[in-house]
Amino acid sequence: MSSAITPYRIQHEPQLLGQTVVVIGGSAGIGLETARRATAEGAKLILTGRSPEHLQRAASEVDALSTAAFDAADSAQLAQFFRDLPTPVDHIMVTAGRPYYGRLIDLDFAQARRALEELFSLFIEVALHAADKVKAGGTLIFMGGTGARRPAMGLGILSTVTAALPALTANLALELAPVRVNLIAAGFVDTQLSASLLGDELENRRSQLRAKLPIRRVVQPADVAALAVHIMANTALTGATYDVDGGQQFVAA
């Protein structure tokens, strides 16, 4: 018997051929990387973001079907965007928004309610609008995190939202079926958002993560994008939370 090893040659049809993917927050970071990957898998992209310049640059890179520049935290503009969506779409990913850090005890009630509302309402509003805009078998994908699973000073609001999002996702998966609903929970991802939050500490943080994370490297937007596209393509997945944090939640990093 020959001991020669036949190399696997894995060739597959593009996984999202002919599908339409909306990325709310698609002009940078995880959203743009997902748009790139979905395009490579044959999808057509509709991108949103606040800055028209960033959006235009991203749109020409992925040859997007269309773009819409608006603040996704503005309910009226979000509703208008969904009214204007031309046809049913296959998938919607929500990467707009940013985390809230600060002690709950330092806020007055109105501020605390606003902070909680801001983090939740985008997901709920997108779900309400998406109910009759996403094709059966398509998915909504929300972005959450693993970093605030462990209570810590300044994480009161973010921890609460982090704990609630998997429950919201699972319930919406039942209510919106046969549209699927899934949640990606990331740890540190090396994006512009992380750079802006860390400032001069960015390089230290990267070194610390390389040393401490079980994967011994920093998680990149492409890691999250690969997961997002898999969730879009795999029609068995709904109601679940997928961690992509390189094991960060298991080490004090």
Q: Which residues bind ligand NAP (CB under 6 A)?
A: 25-31, 48-51, 54, 71-73, 95-99, 143, 145, 186, 188-189, 191-194
Q: In the complex with ligand NAP, which residue's Cβ is closer, 28 or 134?
A: 28
Q: In the complex with ligand NAP, which residue's Cβ is closer, 97 or 239?
A: 97
Q: In the complex with ligand NAP, which residue's Cβ is closer, 207 or 235?
A: 207
Provide the minimum distance between the beta carbon of 145 and ligand NAP in the complex, in angstroms, as a whole number.
Answer: 4
Q: In the complex with ligand NAP, which residue's Cβ is closer, 192 or 235?
A: 192
Give the CB-nearest residue to ligand NAP: 29
SS3 readout for the chain: CCCCCCCCCCCCCCCCCCCEEEEECCCCHHHHHHHHHHHHCCCEEEEEECCHHHHHHHHHHHCCCEEEECCCCCHHHHHHHHHHCCCCEEEEEECCCCCCCCCHHHCCHHHHHHHHHHHHHHHHHHHHHHCCCEEEEEEEEEEEECCCCCCCCCCHHHHHHHHHHHHHHHHHHHHHCCCEEEEEEECCCCCHHHHHHHHHHHHHHHHHHHHHCCCCCCCCHHHHHHHHHHHHHCCCCCCCEEEECCCHHHCCC
Provide the minimum distance between the beta carbon of 23 and ligand NAP in the complex, in angstroms, as a whole number.
Answer: 8
Provide the minimum distance between the beta carbon of 46 and ligand NAP in the complex, in angstroms, as a whole number.
Answer: 13
